[in-house]
C-alpha cells in the first residue's frame, strides 16, 4: 500500500509539474510523458487513459526505486538517485522521438526538474520510513 500511494502521489506531482511548465514556457513535456500512440493498438486512446497508464508506470517505477533504495550514507542515496535521473533524462530523448514531439533545452530542463521532484518525493517518503 505504501508504494501504491507514494507512486500515485509522485506520478501526479510529476504530471502537474510538467503541465505547469508547459503552460508557463510553451513546451511539450506533458504530452511526451503520457503519449503512447507509438504503441500498436494504443493510437487513439483518450488523454485520461494515457494519464492512467502513466500513473501505473509510476507505481511500477516507485516499486523498483523504493525496493532497491540504499539504506546507507547520503552519498550512496545521491548517487542512486542520480542514476535514476540519468535514466529519466535519456527517456526524454527517446519518448520525444517516439511521439514526434520537438525537443528543446527548456523542455529538457522542465523534464529533468519534474523527474527530480518525482525522485525527491519518493526519497522523502523512504527516509520517513527508516
Tens digit of each residue's pLDDT (9 = 90 or more) over 81-96: 999 999 999 999 999 9
Describe the chain by its helix, strand, coil percentages, rounded to 5. 80, 0, 20
Q: What distance in Å separates the CA atoms of residue 19 and residue 30, rounded to the nearest whole number?
A: 5
Residues 6+ apart with CB under 8 A from 50: 34, 35, 36
All three cell numbers of 83: 542514476
Q: What are the boundaries of each domain within the chain?
A: 2-129
pTM of the model: 0.89
Cα–Cα dist 55/83, whole Å = 21
Please report the sign of the dihedral spanned by the C-alpha atoms of residue 10, residue 14, residue 16, residue 17. positive
Q: Give the tens place of pLDDT for each residue, 40-80.
A: 998 889 999 999 999 999 999 999 988 888 877 888 888 99
Q: Strand runs (DSSP E) across 1-130, as ranges?
A: none
Amino acid at each position: 500500500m505504501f508504494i501504491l500511494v507514494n507512486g500515485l502521489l509522485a506520478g501526479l506531482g510529476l504530471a502537474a509539474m510538467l503541465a505547469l511548465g508547459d503552460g508557463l514556457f510553451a513546451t511539450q513535456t506533458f504530452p511526451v510523458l503520457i503519449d503512447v500512440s507509438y504503441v500498436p493498438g494504443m493510437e487513439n486512446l483518450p488523454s485520461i487513459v494515457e494519464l492512467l497508464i502513466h500513473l501505473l508506470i509510476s507505481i511500477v517505477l516507485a516499486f523498483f526505486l523504493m525496493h532497491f533504495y540504499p539504506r546507507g550514507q547520503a552519498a550512496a542515496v545521491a548517487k542512486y538517485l542520480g542514476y535514476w535521473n540519468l535514466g529519466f533524462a535519456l527517456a526524454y530523448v527517446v519518448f520525444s522521438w517516439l511521439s514526434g514531439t520537438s525537443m528543446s533545452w527548456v523542455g529538457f530542463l522542465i523534464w529533468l526538474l519534474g523527474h527530480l521532484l518525482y525522485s525527491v518525493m519518493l526519497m522523502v517518503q523512504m527516509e520517513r520510513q527508516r
